[in-house]
Every structure is written in structure tokens, then in C-alpha cells.
Structure 1
Amino acid sequence: MIFAIAPALLSREFIKQYERTAQPRLLCMPLTHTLGDVTVIALSDGEGPFFLPRKKAFPQATDEHWRLADERYPGAVTPDGEWLLRFRCFAIRRDDDVILVDTGIGPANSPAANWAPVPGRLPDELAAAGIDPADVRTVVLTHLHTDHCGWAVVDTPYFPNAEYLLQRADADAVDELNPALRERLLAPLADAGQLRLVEGETKIRPGVTAVHTPGHTPGHQAVLIEYADKPTLITGDLLVHAVQIVAPDLAYTFEMDPGAARESRANLIAPGVVLASAHLPEPFTPIS
């Protein structure tokens, strides 16, 4: 998740700001990125303004950092100069095989409902992409923050034929991350025999690897796709704002271990990599 917030902190002013800046969205075919015979599909689960001033979210960012970020990535800025963020999941499709990375905000009664600016719309996005939930064979949860696992379980596992991959370090830290997820997420998946806890780098398919990228949470993982000639990294919350592309060393205030998060970014974000990001303005961002 990019943040966790008690319901009482969702002020009327925050809600009004979202209502002022949000625009109606027409459902259309999701954006795609092709790597040989593999298609990566960006699935939008919502968007809205961040609840904190962005300078509090990135207290070490300078005015020059913000100037460069706004110049290069104007889609991250609200009309009043704050942070407009997106919430995305990604499907990796090769023939009839579908892998889903993260499951978004979730419905109106999801664990993220006490802070997310809008309910999620992932079912409509999947339908627009021609993906039935029953088609998904693997769900990779990058970490246990509620805007990344919201549709994973809706009473029962939402993807009934999928194995759900999660780093054991995040499962072990669930009470620190969000105790409600033990009963609302982990227990139903385990009871259904659909939860697979992994440790470290894990091969998902040929050319598709889950990479342990600790820092944002202890078990945060990204997904590296190495087909064709351009590696693509589905980032989760390895970075959450465009200012961290301008200055990858910048810590985000809600990282559990900023030093480890900085090292994880340094190890993976490099020229030639295409970032498929949950929260950046565009779903596919090449690093040059």
C-alpha cells in the first residue's frame, strides 16, 4: 500500500479535494505492452489524490526534485499541485496462461475502504481485457498492503483456480502490517489450499520471476519479465512516485526500512528496463 490511514483521518476536505479533481472514466480496452508472444496488460483499479501533502510523503525531496518530476511526469500532479496517484494491477498473458500481479483496492467493503479514494473496478477491467477470473492461474501479491490485495478474497478467493504467491516475510509480519488481513486474506486462501508462501527469488514461468525487494515491507516482491530484448519490471511499491525516478535515493515516509528499499531500487531500476508501475502516471515507463 502507499499509505495506511485510520477512517477518522479521512477529512471532509480530502473527500472534497477528490471530488474536485476526479474525472469520469470511460471503460476502454486496457493498455498493453508486448514482449514477443507475451502481453502485459495494465488494469486500472482507481485513481485519486493522496491524502498527505507530497512534501510530507517525501520529506527529503528538494524543490529541484519536484520541478524535474513535474516537468517529466505532469500526470502525477493534481490541479492544486499535490500528488495524483493511480492504482493498477497487471496481467501477464501468454496464450491461455494468465498471471495476475496484485489485486488492487477491492470492492466498497474491502480492507482498503477506510482510506482509498474510490472503490476498485478491477472486475470491469478484466472483462474489458477478455479475462475471466477463472482464467487466472497465478496471482502474485507483491506485498500485504490493502491497495494491492483488495480483490484477492471477496468472501471466498476471487480467482478460484489460481495459486496465490506471497513472500513468507510479509505473511510473518501480517500483524504489524495489517492484523485484519490474517482472517480476511491469509486464512481463506490457506483454507482453500491456494496460498503458496515463497522465500526469495521464485521462478513463476520461463522468463517470469518474482524477485524479493524488501524495504517497503519485509517481504515486498517485484515481478521481472525477461522476454524479447527489453526486461520489464512490475514494481509493486518498489517506487511509488515519479520523484523516485528523478532521485531513486529518496525515501518514502511509509517505507518500513528505507535503507533496504533504496538498495532494492538500486538493484533493479536501471537504463533499458521498462517499469510497469502501480502508481506512476503512465503504466509503462522506460528508464533511459
Structure 2
Amino acid sequence: MLARGTTPGVSTVYALQYGRRAGVRGEHFLGWDSSSGEPHEIAYYAWLVLSADRTILVDAGMDPDREPPLKGWSFRTSVPALLADVGISPAGIDTLVLTHLHYDHAGGVRSFPAARVFVQAAELAYWAGPAARRNAREAWLLDHQDLRHVVALIEGGRAVAFAGDGEVAPGVSAVLVGGHTAGMQIVAVRTATGPLVLASDALHFFENLETDRPGTVLHSMPEVYLAFDRARELARGGPIVPGHDPSVPDRWGFRSRSGLPAGVTRLA
């Protein structure tokens, strides 16, 4: 059902959509305007990167047992359930990249018992530090169980805290950009058709990049804009995949042609 890269250092990439939720534009785009009250749906993803010998998951989704803090869900499953639909068990994930530690990206980290985990040291330092404890506006975005679990993995040697850019596997690199969070990282993947960038929440929607407009949750405004630029630089004209845009399956359109189950879209 799933294709793997066959050339060394080349991977295939799949989007795993585990949820959709109703919202309004004012939740998703910084700067209130006349359109801010208009309906604006948001989708939730993790991404699967498959080389000939590696099974890499980028982000772990939400804790399957946690009640989501936001209302309006029209669809919700879990990343492990979507992986099961394509024949991959949680223990079959050998590498897990956490782009950042928000609950909807790192909440499933405890579901993958064999994965080597990659995160940014700056992300860990912020959430474990005094500034995050004072920032009540963003406290709901972190599950402290996730933080404690990742710290324990680092102490046990099963997780790596990058201090900047680093290679996750041949042809797969994590790139520190900041902006959305203190240690936000994006993932550049070499595919058979060229580079592909998994931007995660460095940009939530295609519109963020197309209109140069940040989202509403951010750590550093200048770094948000620099992250846009870095994603373009890494993509070299190739695709940049945002973290929450419901139109991803329609833009790629692979599912109907490839027999993949609902929620799974081949990107490259």
C-alpha cells in the first residue's frame, strides 16, 4: 500500500490527517480585520517519511487518551490508528522528529516505544524555564507529561536535543527556525522529485506564506518571517507543506489514485 524510497537518501512522504475542527479566521491569522469572524476550518497532521530502510514519523499528533482543549471537532482519530490502517505498528517507527512540543504535535510521543526522538534544545529549555511558567496565555499548549517523557528519553539516551540544524537520517534534515515556538524546527526531505519541506507550524496554512501573514500563536515575530524565508530556501521551488491546512489532500490529490485509506495522502 505504501511506497518507499529505493535510492539511498531518497524518501517518499505521506501526510496523516488525524483531525479537523471548525474555527474562524481570527483564530488563525494575526491582525483582526473584517474577515476575522468568517468560518475557517483547521486540520491536524503528522507526516510519515519512508526510505528504503527507515520509517520516520514527523510529529506524533495528540495524545489519543487526552480530551482536546478546543471544541468544534468534526473528525478525530489518532496517529497510531492511521498508521495501523497502512500496516505500520507504533513499534515500527524507528525515528520520531518533534517539530515542537505543543500538545497536538508531541502529545502522542509516548505511543512509539522504539523510536529515537529528535527535538530542539531551545524548545526544551523554553518550556522547562521560568518564562513559560509565567506565560499563562500559552500554558494550555503544553502537556507536561510530554515534556517529562522527552526529558527522560534524553537522559536515557533515546532522544537527541539538537542545538541548531541536524541530520535525522540520510536525506532528512531538521532545521531550527523558531518563530512559532522557541525551538520550532522544520524538516527538509530529499524525494525522487526534489526537495520537500515539512513546515509544520512554521506556517499553519498556505495562506500564511502566500500573503506573508503570521498566525496568532508566536514566540518571535521576526523569526516567523525568517522561517518563511528559510522554508522557501530549503524547498528550492519545490513543495512546502503547512501544518494545519485542510486543503493538503486536495492540492496533492494522490489518495483517489493510490488506494490509500481516508486521512492518508501521498505528498512525494
Using structure 1 for the length normalisation, give the TM-score. 0.71
Partner of 1:277: 242
Question: Counterparts of 1:108 and 1:99 in 2: how far apart (Å)?
Answer: 23
Partner of 1:115: 70
Secondary structure (helix, strand or coil) at the match of 2:104 reads coil
Secondary structure (helix, strand or coil) at the match of 1:233 reads strand
Partner of 1:235: 199
Partner of 2:46: 89
Question: Counterparts of 1:122 and 1:60 in 2: how far apart (Å)?
Answer: 32
Partner of 1:151: 108
1:217 is displaced (CA, Å) by 0.6
Indicate if the aligned counterparts of 1:33 and 1:41 stay in contact, CA closer than 8 A: no
- Residue 142 in structure 1 maps to residue 106 in structure 2: no
1:33 is displaced (CA, Å) by 10
Q: Among residues 144, 149, 160, which one is paired with 1:180 in the alignment?
A: 144
Letter in 1 for 2:245: L
Letter in 2 for 1:115: L
Question: Counterparts of 1:246 and 1:146 in 2: how far apart (Å)?
Answer: 27
1:193-272 maps to which residues of 2 (within 5 A)?
193-248=157-212, 250-269=213-232, 272=237
Distance 1:203 1:129, change over 3 A: same
Distance 1:184 1:115, change over 3 A: farther
Letter in 1 for 2:29: F
Question: Counterparts of 1:282 and 1:55 in 2: how far apart (Å)?
Answer: 19
Number of residues of Structure 1 aligned to a counterpart in Structure 2: 233
Indicate if the aligned counterparts of 1:108 and 1:120 stay in contact, CA closer than 8 A: no
Moved more, 136-145 or 113-122: 113-122
Q: Among residues 22, 37, 44, which one is paired with 1:49 in the alignment?
A: 22
Question: Counterparts of 2:5 and 2:81 in 1: how far apart (Å)?
Answer: 22
Indicate if the aligned counterparts of 2:120 and 2:162 stay in contact, CA closer than 8 A: yes
Using structure 2 for the length normalisation, give the TM-score. 0.76
Indicate if the aligned counterparts of 2:92 and 2:114 stay in contact, CA closer than 8 A: yes
1:273 is displaced (CA, Å) by 2.0
Q: Among residues 105, 114, 120, which one is paired with 2:62 in the alignment?
A: 105
Question: Counterparts of 2:185 and 2:6 in 1: how far apart (Å)?
Answer: 21
Indicate if the aligned counterparts of 1:106 and 1:122 stay in contact, CA closer than 8 A: no
Distance 1:57 1:123, change over 3 A: closer
Distance 1:124 1:62, change over 3 A: same
RMSD of Structure 2 on Structure 1 (CA): 2.9
Indicate if the aligned counterparts of 1:106 and 1:120 stay in contact, CA closer than 8 A: no
Question: Counterparts of 1:61 and 1:129 in 2: how far apart (Å)?
Answer: 41
Question: Counterparts of 1:96 and 1:33 in 2: how far apart (Å)?
Answer: 9
Cα deviation 1:132-159 (Å, max 9, x = unaligned): 1111111000001110011101xxxx21
1:35 is displaced (CA, Å) by 9.2
Secondary structure (helix, strand or coil) at the match of 1:246 reads helix
1:33-48 maps to which residues of 2 (within 5 A)?
38-48=11-21
1:191 is displaced (CA, Å) by 5.6
**Identical aligned residues as a percent:** 26
Distance 1:46 1:57, change over 3 A: closer
